[in-house]
Structure 1
Amino acid sequence: MNLQNGFLLSYIKYGDHDAVLHCFTEEEGFQACFLKGIYAKKNKKKALLQPLNRLSFTVNPIKGNGIYTASRLELVNNYDMYTDVKINTIVFFVSDFLNQVLREEHKNPGIFSSIAEFIEILSHRNYQSHLTFLVKILKIHGVAPLVTSGQYLDPETGTFSSGLNHQLFTADISELWKNIISSPQPYDVKIPAPLRKDFLDSILVYYHYHITDFKIPASLEIIQQIFE
């Protein structure tokens, strides 16, 4: 057995009382864990199953072709922010997003610390932080755009050019990409509210070109409605 801690990305109820958790852990990267009895009537720890909660748990070695069995589930950080509808929507969207793009990711301290930083900033009611965070993940993966003197970002090549290459990547949207990528404090870059929907759409387009088998998260429609 060994102690691990990680961010909960998704969970699936299994039978009447058990669940399968998908987490991004500090020790192993993405992994699935089988958690017994979490939905039992007397088990109060099912309240810990909130997306992006940072949890510590003990895992038992894999037997055969099975998955880890987790036990001793505890909450590492308690952020009192899930009653805020906008924050809750952002959390569900980002966890949905990461549950897809980190599936093949092994131990990665850069990603783990970036998730922790994002949650800290989001807890201070930074309602644009998810946009910056998704660009930061591209940088960690080494597929972020290369900043040059061009005015318009070409999402397919990841370079800036003098002419418009994609209708979403206008001069304003391209400038936001430049500023976030090049800033030493990217979360301080202000994204004007009228541009946030188009900027998010541009991020999804860029992921489509540069992340293998990327699919639009199912929670996209909800986050777009809440910020209209």
Structure 2
Amino acid sequence: MNSQNGFLLSFIKYGENDAVLHCFTEEEGFQTYFLKGVYSKRNKKKALLQPLSKLSFSINPIRGNGIASVSKFELVKNNDIYNDIKVNTIIFFISDFLSQILKFENKNLTIFFSIDEFIDQLINKNYQSHLLFLLAVLKIQGVTPLIGEGRFLDPETGTFSASSTHHIFSEEISLLWRTALTAENFYTTKIHSSMRKDFLDSLLVYYHYHITDFKTPPSLEIIQQIFE
């Protein structure tokens, strides 16, 4: 039996009482675990199954071709952020996003600790943090744009050019990308509420160009409605 700390990305109820968990762990990257009996009437730990909860798992050895099973799990840090509807919406959106982005990712401490930093931003009610977290992930993956002298960001080439190549990447949005990319800390970048939807749209366009098989998270419509 070994112990793993990880963020819960998604979970699926299996049968009456069991669940399958998808997690990003500190030591082994993306992992799938089987959790027995969590939905039984006497089990109070089902309340801990929240997207992006940081959990400590005790893992049983894999037998045959099955998946690893969890013998017990605990909450690593209790941060009461799920009662804020805006934060809750952001969490569901980012957990959707990470579930597809990280599904083939091995151990990556930079990503693991960046999720920690992102959660800290949510604790402090930073309602634009999800936008800058998406940019941080692009940087970790090594596909952020190259800073040049042009006024317009070309999302396909990842370079700045003298003329516009995509209608979403206006001069204003392109400047916002440049400001964030050159900031010492992404999260210090100020994004006016009127620009957040367009900036998010521009991020998703960029992901489609630079991340293989990227699909728009299903919860996009919900987060756009909440922040309108």
TM-score scaled by length of structure 2: 0.98
| Deviations 1:26-76, CA, capped at 9 Å, x for gaps | 010111000001001000000000000000011122222211111211000
Distance in 2 of aligned mates of 1:89 and 1:137? 19
Distance in 1 of aligned mates of 2:148 and 2:61? 48
For 1:197, what is the secondary structure of its paired residue? helix
Which residue of 2 is the match for residue 58 of structure 1? 58
Which residue of 2 is the match for residue 92 of structure 1? 92
Which residue of 2 is the match for residue 27 of structure 1? 27
Distance in 2 of aligned mates of 1:65 and 1:134? 35
Distance in 2 of aligned mates of 1:90 and 1:140? 20
Which 4+ stretches in 1 moved above 3 angstroms? none
| Deviations 1:82-136, CA, capped at 9 Å, x for gaps | 1110000000000010001111100000000000000001111100000000000
Which residue of 2 is the match for residue 108 of structure 1? 108
Which residue of 1 is the match for residue 127 of structure 2? 127
Distance in 2 of aligned mates of 1:213 and 1:185? 29
Identity of paired residues, percent?
A: 65
RMSD value, Cα: 0.7
Which AA in structure 2 matches 1:93? F
Which residue of 2 is the match for residue 217 of structure 1? 217
Question: How much has 1:178 moved relative to structure 2?
Answer: 1.1
Question: How much has 1:24 moved relative to structure 2?
Answer: 0.5
Which residue of 1 is the match for residue 10 of structure 2? 10
Between 1:209-218 and 1:64-73, the stretch displaced more is 64-73
Distance in 1 of aligned mates of 2:177 and 2:61? 43
1:188 is aligned to 2:172: no
Structure 2 gap segments, 5+ residues each: none
For 2:46, what is the secondary structure of its paired residue? helix
Structure 1 gap segments, 5+ residues each: none
Which AA in structure 1 matches 2:11? Y
The 5-angstrom pairing of residues 150-189 of structure 1 reads 150-189=150-189
For 2:125, what is the secondary structure of its paired residue? coil
Distance in 1 of aligned mates of 2:162 and 2:90? 34
Distance in 2 of aligned mates of 1:61 and 1:164? 55
Task: Work out the number of aligned pairs and report it.
Answer: 228
Distance in 1 of aligned mates of 2:180 and 2:36? 43
Distance in 1 of aligned mates of 2:154 and 2:31? 34
Which residue of 1 is the match for residue 74 of structure 2? 74
Distance in 2 of aligned mates of 1:89 and 1:174? 26
Distance in 2 of aligned mates of 1:166 and 1:201? 12
1:202 is aligned to 2:202: yes
For 1:142, what is the secondary structure of its paired residue? coil
Which residue of 2 is the match for residue 40 of structure 1? 40
